[in-house]
Structure 1
């Protein structure tokens, strides 16, 4: 083969390629240090290499060495031969220390590159994550009539996976069919992978079902495609068929199936996979260990998860984070924190798991404290972290921090805003009493889901704006969103706070009839609260008695509060009795009942309630308040003098009390 090669040259004009690609697709000036390590340029070859220069080529580790070898090839004439030239090109295009720009120049100087060389340059651009250039070389190859081989289609379809649209991949599939290459197992596996990665499972399954011969790669690709799209049942069904077909699963197959088990929460299947691993000689890599660990954690089986963790010879941050996440979700925050502290190298996900654990288990102060520590360590929180922190802010009514997170991370740093994050912001503002800010975020949302609507309805309900809650509900229905049980809890709460008895009854009656939603305990509690607040105590009691399930504490508590408001001692006593039967140590019930008796001046009954509290060892939980000062939370109990500035605090309180009395009396005295 004739060849002209210079040691240094300028980039030739390539009008065909430039017409196919945008300018940004030529960013291949410094890819040598960014190449993924999974691709090996000097993959095994059937050719026995004995020439000293080629032997040196196979162990080349830098472009400096490559240029020296290239110079030697030029002087000896070795570079005019196809195989040495192809190895030179492969190093530049595929090696971690290679240079794709140099490979491109080299390729364009070859007068008649063969199929292997075309495949190499296509593969190189795939590796550099410049799929448009890879596809453009395939088109040029087609126009020039260069013969294809199965790898040509595999590498080109791989490039098509990265395009936003699918016509390129479908056109490659069509060409493979016309040229007969779609009968090749390698090509069909590539097509199944292409469709599965894009989530086109019907197309992937179509190719899969047409295949007369399937290997472990075929089965694994299809199973992984289903697992990635949360079609766990189909993934595990396919795995069963794979075993019946006597195809031995490999490590990747088992990871995909374990992922499906995790999504579905199928502990039985997960344990079966574990047994297969124990019985068969399957290579236990770190990824497989982590997948098994993740399965046990997500299925809530922490004993087995801990056993797997303890047996692992090596662990990474994913291993440690799985244990943190598992213990946090089951409420064992002490164990979760212990694993968190022992994690050698924490990442954002690890911090987020612990922060979420505190937030979801009613420890918002600890969640925010850890969030401040995370920022102090220099980590930039992601979406999941911010959602947990905003939830903690809502629980504590910590408006200042929640508002800062919104303005700084979303508006200034511009972290990508998802619907989930915007929903968390709405919920935080609503719980902090800033319903107008919540409504502003809601109005500006480009995309909303049911949680968005439920959050703003709940916000209006909690802030006493029943009319707006109902208006949003009506708008939600007009836009085609179907309410769920959470929607009706918020809606009934709004009616309760607004005293809208007839509308509340209508919503409650139409839940099942119109929307197919059976009322739950929470809905009955809302209705009892609505009836009780508006003075319909007997009707509220009748609703409790006719509930299709045992009344919850919220129902009896709502009735007890209504009895105090409307001075119904008999129903109050009955309500308190039912509450104390389920929780005899609830000091709030004793105190509320004693206050009801006191309002009726039945002091003997008051003494009896207080005596009962003493006999049972129940102590009244002191009232407390919580305020935020410079990012720290200060808690104050009733008559608390533990604070170092308590004297000054009480003096200021006395001044405020005096000022309020003067305001009430209309005095214009200047203090």
Structure 2
């Protein structure tokens, strides 16, 4: 540098003021060795002032060299130099960037700041500290510090809102946004709005999200926050709104990434894959954001695109390679690959990923492999891997217990649950709500009421249940007691579920239905809709089953019509089966026949074979001894080659019922 040569020639490079100018020149040049040259120059200055120290510490922090910044700060304090408020703010940022490896160092910085009186007078110091705590996940500490700060500016509010949103406290973050705008009368900037939009997306607050979108349009900064608006709509399930926003933005690789992730979140896997092209953009996508491989692999898994998944895998390894990733990214992507191969029916390929990338030491990866084996019915392989693990977490145990239940081995699941809590087992561990759900499902399969009650008692004794039930556990208990015929217990549990949803309501409706309490089931359905909870397809199966079991034909037809007229649901095979069963139970076999004839041309388009539906009508013919109708139904089933063996058995029963 010319200035460097002149300063050295004049012998001024040892002067802190001129050295600081040179140091800033090196830093601003952004050459590969700029920080090395800056540090060399720094060491040549015999008497360093605070500004010189501050310049180099800031440079290390901005370059994500947190360890070097912290080391330099320690060196400064050992030389009896007193850091100023700006240096403390910078060091807090360095601590934040080092995640949780320097929590004690950061807390010590906080103590010094209080002792020096910087906190009430310098807002930049308080803002950096609360951001540090938020980055570590200590949001309570951030909020406490935020409340204690004598001065706050827009940057402070933004940092606190972002801290809440990034740590899963979206509601609190949005409440702070309201306070900032409506009580403090601060005008939000683009960062404020973008952060609030993230909170709206994660909390599914579509009303506020639309209000923020309108604000952006009015203020003319919509395009600057277009990606945040689009992401909010995708997270809230408003795909058409997201697409409209994207259509107004310039198409680029970032918008393609946004579409892929958004479509996958909304289970529109075919739409997502339209933006994955091997000929043009997959390589570019990986260069911009390699983690997008996870939603792409999800699409492959959901659509059973094994060959496409293999190509994605090969391209990714060629370009990126798992060994070059951060450990956290490697675990996430390795798990996604294993999941994709297993969901596509190739557990062997999944095992190659597991073995070749030396992932067995990571519990999360081993859990994915166990789940994959169990998904493919390979229980022995899953059990062998489970037994070989040197470390297990609650997900490991829960996956194995649930896998036993899913593979019709509920007794093994209960034995493993008992082993999980056994004190003599060195791997013994406390379960979570999903562990209990797996145990409850095992008891339901075995109709083991006694052990079901024991698990229920364990739940009550645990910290998970204090007068009320989590919706996941509560719904499972309702289902279990309903299958046991213990409606009283099912109703008590249901009434204690804190935040009921469509699944908990559906469970209790079905419980009353299968136990002959149809009127009560319909009353609860009405209560659910009055609460603003929309039913799903399974809810209507339960409602139709209630009408069928209790002879509520008129109401059954009403709810069947309501399903597609009001809620826009296309009836599935199980809906038609319930409807035909309901008509058939009361001798309305001709009406049932007419219904099936009417829907016959829609069978293929609606995705069901109708064998179960016609078999339900055949069963009704047996119940009422209707030989003529039974013969017609049996002929139809045999012509379609559906349920052949069961059809012969049922038609023989029809003849027997008719005395033939």
Establish whether TM, by shorter chain, passes 0.5. Answer: yes
* Contact kept? 2:61, 2:93, Cα under 8 Å: yes
Pair 1:468 & 2:468 matched: no
Q: Residue 608 of structure 1 corresponds to which residue in structure 2?
A: 632
Contact 1:320–1:339 (Cα < 8 Å) also in 2: yes
Q: Determine if contact 2:16/2:52 at 8 Å carries over to the other structure.
A: no
Alignment check: 8 A CA contact 1:429 1:437 kept: yes
Given the two structures, how large is their TM-score scaled by the length of structure 2? 0.67
Specify which structure has the bigger relative contact order, considering alpha-carbon pairs within 8 angstroms and separated by 6 or more residues: 1
- The aligned counterpart of 1:663 is none
Which segment drifts farther, 424-433 or 604-613?
A: 604-613
Map 1:291-370; keep pairs closer than 5 Å: 291-313=228-250, 315-317=252-254, 319-341=255-277, 345-347=284-286, 348-360=290-302, 363=303, 365-366=304-305, 368-370=306-308
Residue correspondence of structure 1 range 236-635 to structure 2 within 5 A: 236-244=174-182, 245-282=184-221, 284-285=223-224, 288-313=225-250, 315-317=252-254, 319-341=255-277, 345-347=284-286, 348-360=290-302, 363=303, 365-366=304-305, 368-379=306-317, 380=321, 383-395=331-343, 397-409=345-357, 411=358, 414=359, 417=362, 419=364, 421-443=365-387, 444=389, 446-449=391-394, 451-476=395-420, 481=430, 484=433, 487-488=436-437, 491-492=440-441, 496=445, 500-501=446-447, 503-504=448-449, 507=452, 511=456, 516=469, 517-519=474-476, 523=480, 543-546=514-517, 549=521, 577=584, 585=603, 586-589=609-612, 607-611=631-635, 619=640
The structure with the greater share of residues assigned to helix is 2
Cα shift at 1:418: 5.3
Cα distance in 1, alignment partners of residues 271 and 414 from structure 2: 44
Alpha-carbon distance between aligned partners in 2 of 1:483 and 1:129, rounded to the nearest angstrom? 38
Tell me the alpha carbon deviations over residues 228-260 of structure 1, each in whole angstroms, 9 at most, x when there is no partner: 111011100000110021212222222221121
Aligned equivalents of 1:311, 1:180: Cα separation in 2: 50
Q: Which range is displaced more, 247-256 or 597-606?
A: 597-606
Describe the shift of the 1:146–1:519 C-alpha distance in structure 2 as closer, same or farther (beyond 3 A): closer
Residues paired across the two proteins, number: 515
Distance 1:86 1:484, change over 3 A: closer
- Report the secondary structure of 1:181's partner residue: coil
Structure 1: how far apart are the matches of 2:452 and 2:205? 38
Q: Distance in 1 between matches of 2:457 and 2:583?
A: 31
Q: Which SS does the other structure have where 1:248 is aligned?
A: coil
Q: How big is the shift at 1:333?
A: 3.4
Deviation per residue, 1:489-511 (Å, 9 max, x gap): 66545764xxx44x257527975
TM superposition shift of 1:264: 0.8
Larger radius of gyration: 1
- The Cα shift of 1:104 comes to 1.9
1:213 match: 151
CA gap 1:80/1:492 in 2 versus in 1, 3 angstroms: closer
Change (3 A) 1:178 1:216: same
Alpha-carbon distance in 2 for matches of 1:431, 1:111: 68
Other-structure match for 2:563: none
Relative to structure 1, the CA distance from residue 160 to residue 399 in structure 2 (aligned partners, 3 Å threshold; closer, same or farther) is closer
Distance 1:463 1:595, change over 3 A: farther
Number of the residue aligned with 2:73: 138
Gaps (5+ residues) in structure 2? 323-329, 423-427, 461-468, 486-510, 523-538, 549-577, 604-608, 645-660
Give the counterpart of 1:90 among 20, 24, 35.
Answer: 24
Quote the residue 2:492 is aligned against. Answer: none
- For the residue of structure 2 that corresponds to 1:339, the secondary structure is coil
Paired with 1:392 and 1:552, the residues of 2 have a C-alpha distance of 32
Residue 466 (structure 1) shift: 3.4
Could you say which residue in structure 1 is the equivalent of 2:553? Answer: none
CA distance in 2, matches of 1:281, 1:343: 32
